[in-house]
Amino acid sequence: MGSSWHFYERAQKEVYRKLRARQRPEAVVGAGWGFLDHFFIFLFSLGFFARVDFRLKRVKRVMVPTLLMILTYEVKQLMGISSMNQLEEHLFRDTALLKIIGFTARQIQEGFCRRGKGKRWGPMHRDTLADFLSRFSAKEVDFILEEAVRVLVKHKLVRGKTYILDATDLPTTKRYWGCGVKKVVKKVRSKEGKEVEVVEYVYGYKLLVLMEARHKLVVAARMVKINEHEKSFTKRLVREAQERTGGAVKVLLVDRGFIDGVLLWWLWKKMKIGFVIPARSNMEVSQDLRGFRSEKADGQRVFWEETKEVRVLGVRGLLSYDQFGEEEHKRKRGRKDFRANPINGIMVVRWAGKEYEEKGDVRAESA
């Protein structure tokens, strides 16, 4: 009698051989899912499932419950399945795992309806999940994130005071619905060896996230067109994060794309949130800070800190960032009675043992 057991082995040598030969494996996914039952028990104990079990407004006919769809997609991501085309091979054939998600034996065997019979393997066709996800509105996606954050905060699982505000471009083709387009000028070498400028148009979206720094827990996010400026959405993201976490955000590590004097002033004075943001090399405050590189620490305005790997210069009360202030303050620039608001600056002159001889990595921070 043949065995019904399926044996798996860790073919690491074969994967290594293919990678060295630059042969791309068909798929790389996690073979172990023993952590998932504990993970789902954890989510259930938090009450997460009850919070996100709702009906999408753009779905008229519901065959598969929303919660099962969400959990199926979560498991796909946790297992490292990169493509929807791999679902039937790596997820829908695993009966035990599907039962952990919440599918019944009958649903796994027969599906939810007769449509697609003979064309699917498992409880649904892979395109069913993809189509369902495309019907989420931005408001509904944000609702799931908001409820997840509230659950974690309620059980004191979001404890950090330092957060990160970051922006990432997600390039696509122009065929993607609702995408934006931005003009990018690149410098390349011509056949004659001369440096020339080439204009490219990049289509896609921009993902803005505000997350807890230590555990990378996202507490607020927004997807916008790739050509839209980050600062246009910062206030809303910060307010959402503070409201969801009960005012936990005390220090914000900000991506360079968000740099704006009025916005930084709002963070510091209105929201009482300290910030650290990389300054552009051509900014006056960067050049001002570099002028202190030869200065010794005085314990009042100039500070030096160092280890074997890192050496940092800190200067207090710089007055060379004249955009740092309210909108009315910004409009007074150039007048005789104009007074700049002080801002602190730090410059990394050694990182990972490497010295920056001429220019350091300059960052501005709240005074």
Percent with pLDDT over 90 in the chain: 43
The pLDDT tens digits of the residues spanning 12-36 come to 666 666 666 666 555 555 445 567 7
Distance between CA 61 and CA 128 in Å, rounded? 12
Which of 186, 183, 188, 187 is closest to 202 using CA atoms? 183
Per-residue pLDDT at 117 exceeds 70: no
For residue 164, give the 3-state DSSP assignment: strand
Q: Considering only 107-121, 125-139, 296-310, which range has the smallest mean pLDDT?
A: 107-121
The pLDDT tens digits of the residues spanning 312-364 come to 999 999 999 999 999 888 888 888 888 999 999 999 999 988 888 766 677 77
pLDDT tier at 191, thresholds 50, 70, 90: confident
Question: Bridge-partner residues for 207, per DSSP?
Answer: 168, 223
Angle at 51 between CA 161 and CA 220, to 5 degrees: 35
Instruction: Domain ranges for the chain, please list them.
Output: 30-136, 159-258, 276-367
The pLDDT tens digits of the residues spanning 64-108 come to 888 888 889 988 888 888 888 888 888 888 888 888 888 888 888
Structure tokens belonging to residue 326: 């309210």
What does the pLDDT read at residue 207?
A: 94
What does the pLDDT read at residue 149?
A: 93
Distance between CA 247 and CA 364 in Å, rounded? 23
What does the pLDDT read at residue 212?
A: 96
Q: Which position has the higher pLDDT, 62 or 234? A: 234
The pLDDT tens digits of the residues spanning 205-249 come to 999 999 999 999 999 999 999 999 998 999 999 999 999 999 999
**pLDDT averaged over every residue in the chain:** 85
What does the pLDDT read at residue 136?
A: 85
Q: Is the dihedral of CA 136, 138, 140, 143 positive or negative?
A: positive
Cβ atoms of 208 and 233 closer than 8 Å: yes
How crowded is residue 363: how many other Cβ atoms within 10 Å of its Cβ? Answer: 22
Q: b or e along 321-359 (b: 16 or more beta carbons within 10 Å of the residue's beta carbon)?
A: bbbbbeeebbeeeeeeeeebbebbbbbebbeeeeeeeee
What average pLDDT score do residues 171-184 get?
92
Cβ atoms of 351 and 310 closer than 8 Å: yes
List phi, psi (to 5°) of 71. -65, -35
